[in-house]
Amino acid sequence: MLTIKTSAQSIENPSVENSDSPSCRIVKIENTPNFTIVSFEETAANNNAWARLSKNIFVQTNVSDKHYHYVKSENVAIAPEKTTIANAGDKLLFKVYFERIPPTSRTIDVIEKAGAKYFFNFYNVSLTQSQKEVITDIALTPPPSSVTSNINFNNEMAGVMGSVGPMLTTMTTAMMDAQVKYYKQPGIITEIAKLNKQYFDALVNQGFTQDQALKIITTESLLPKANMSGK
């Protein structure tokens, strides 16, 4: 739900189309008269996990490709320092303050390092629609000892597996569509091009020939490649 109070906007648990940070989620966005504030929740995947933030993080809106830069943050270390999360499953709540985005914005991207896994990258984050949590439970009951019950159980399992195939196909298609939509957003291709150019220059500076550097960046890309075969 979008709440509007005088000159401030806020939304809790906004809908997010795609993210490069599987252990983190956005729990709230506030557009105040002075800042745009994004609140995050990081969940530790294991004991002694850690989190840290780069000051290069920025927000980009659907209005234009302008970057709204980092101003300050709360309760999270700035790289190269780290904030340790002691136990697996523990949560770290932190806030990041950005330059204020236009109040007409409908969606934002939060970019720490474009296209890089495990960074705080969140794409097409809605400022008008909250995330709806959907939990689907499939209970599998052990089959009775009788032959008839075993046959019934096997038939039920076949039905379940038959329904999983189309679901996986739909999920794969949705992920591919999301990747294409992400790369079409203003400024994203430029950011990726800059990253690849920096990678190429760094390889040449380390003694690789230009041909070797070109081969490396095309075969060992810094960015994950979309698997268009769906396999």
Instruction: With respect to residue 99, please indicate whether it lies within any of the assigned structural domains.
Output: yes
Sign of CA dihedral 202, 203, 208, 209: negative
Dump pLDDT digits (tens) for 109-132. Answer: 999 998 888 899 999 999 999 987
**Per-residue pLDDT at 39 exceeds 60:** yes
Same domain, 120 and 192: no
Dump pLDDT digits (tens) for 55-73. Answer: 999 999 999 999 999 999 9
C-alpha–C-alpha distance, residues 158 and 49, integer Å: 40
**Per-residue pLDDT at 148 exceeds 90:** no
**Per-residue pLDDT at 229 exceeds 70:** no
Which residue range forms the structural domain that includes residue 201?
188-219
Instruction: With respect to residue 225, please indicate whether it lies within any of the assigned structural domains.
Output: no
Global pTM exceeds 0.85: no
Q: Count the domains in the chain.
A: 2
Same domain, 96 and 200: no
Residue at 2: amino acid letter: L
Same domain, 21 and 122: yes
Instruction: With respect to residue 19, please indicate whether it lies within any of the assigned structural domains.
Output: yes
